[in-house]
Chain A
Amino acid sequence: MRKPLVWLVFFGGLALVTTFYPEAGWTADQPGVIAPGDKWEYITAAYVVTWVGLIGYTISLWVRTPTKKRQ
């Protein structure tokens, strides 16, 4: 049961980070209206999540691949 739990923590953690991170410095929008401002906090969050996901999965593959030491 460890692997599903790891995945749950991984994606749950990403969801929490991306949910709460953009709240910093957030100014409310009206639904359907893009408020003035460049919204770089959202852009940054999206790119950080993507790179963390891709690099994280790369590391997980590297760790799981058997080597002479890790058989």
Chain B
Amino acid sequence: MSEKSYAPWKDYIPWEHFFGVVGLCSLAAGHIWGLFYTPPETNMGDVVKILFVHVPCAWNSMLVFTIAFFAAFVSLISGRRGADGVLAGAVETGLLLTGLTLITGSIFARPTWGYWWTSDPRLNTTAILFLTFIGVLMLRVMVQNSERRAIWSAVATIIAYVNVPITYMSVRWMRSVHQIQSSPSDVDGPLKLVWRISALSILALAIWFITRRYRIEKARQIAEAAPPLPEANNA
């Protein structure tokens, strides 16, 4: 589709909404199953059900920030505007998932650890990750020139991404109240399946969010590149 005739409401990727519908439906099914049809965990009881939302959000937030990192790299090297659109989508989606990770983690911490928040390597690095990517988002809002915005936000994303492996490994590198990295092998049969369904559903939703946000960014770039409207003749 040429840029002159670009119409975002017509330009959609055929599989895009499939991911959204499947993601929402399977997430709802997984959550209903997890909430009402899985047994309580031996030590934590029903509180373990919070992990069906917390852990998939955490996994996918790191994955989505990795997509943002590669998009930033491509944007910087090639100057392709599409990469900047993917970056915008991945940063926003990653922020949403990191925000949900922080909030649901805090809700899980209160009944299990006894406090909402503590100065812990995993918690602190995740909070810093959230704040640095908020900074990337604010940078994108503040810089009006589209070329400068693409370059600056790509550089900022690459710098902010340095914290992702640190966050992931923080529970091994430092003494942490947070348990080491979770994997499906840590849990038993029915819980494992719900975990996997939730993780795949949120991944599908993340893909949907990124593609939709990409189209918004594409429309914005085209609108910014358009010549200004002629001034009204008041004479």
Contact = CB atoms under 8 A, between A and B. Distances in A.
Contacts of A66: 8-9, 216, 219
Interface residues of B, number: 47
B64 to A, nearest CB: 12
A69 B99 CA distance: 32
Contacts of B100: 49-50, 53-54
Interface stretch (B70-78, B143-151, B157-165, B207-215): B207-215
A68 B44 contact: no
B128 interface: no
Given A22-B107, A61-B212, A53 B47 contact: no
Given A18-B103, A66-B9, A57 B114 contact: no
Nearest to A26: B110
A65 B49 CA distance: 35
A49 B9 contact: no
Nearest to B99: A11
Interface in A29-49: 29-35, 38-40, 42-43, 45-47, 49
Contacts of B37: none
A49 B103 contact: yes
Q: Mostly helix, strand, loop or mixed at chain B's interface?
A: helix
A42 B113 contact: no
Interface stretch (B50-58, B167-175, B185-193, B227-235): B50-58
Contacts of A32: 113-114
B46 A43 contact: yes
A25 B45 CA distance: 18
A50 B53 contact: yes
Interface residues of A, number: 37
Given A33-B114, A39-B47, A43-B50, A65 B103 contact: no
Given A30-B114, A53-B96, A65-B212, 12 more contacts: A3-B137, A18-B107, A39-B46, A40-B46, A42-B107, A43-B47, A43-B49, A47-B53, A49-B103, A50-B100, A57-B92, A61-B209
Interface of B: 7-9, 20, 24, 27, 31, 35, 40, 43-47, 49-50, 53-54, 57, 92-93, 96, 99-100, 103-104, 106-108, 110-116, 134, 137-138, 141, 205, 209, 212-213, 215-216, 219
9 contacts: A3-B141, A11-B99, A18-B106, A29-B111, A39-B111, A46-B53, A53-B96, A54-B24, A65-B212
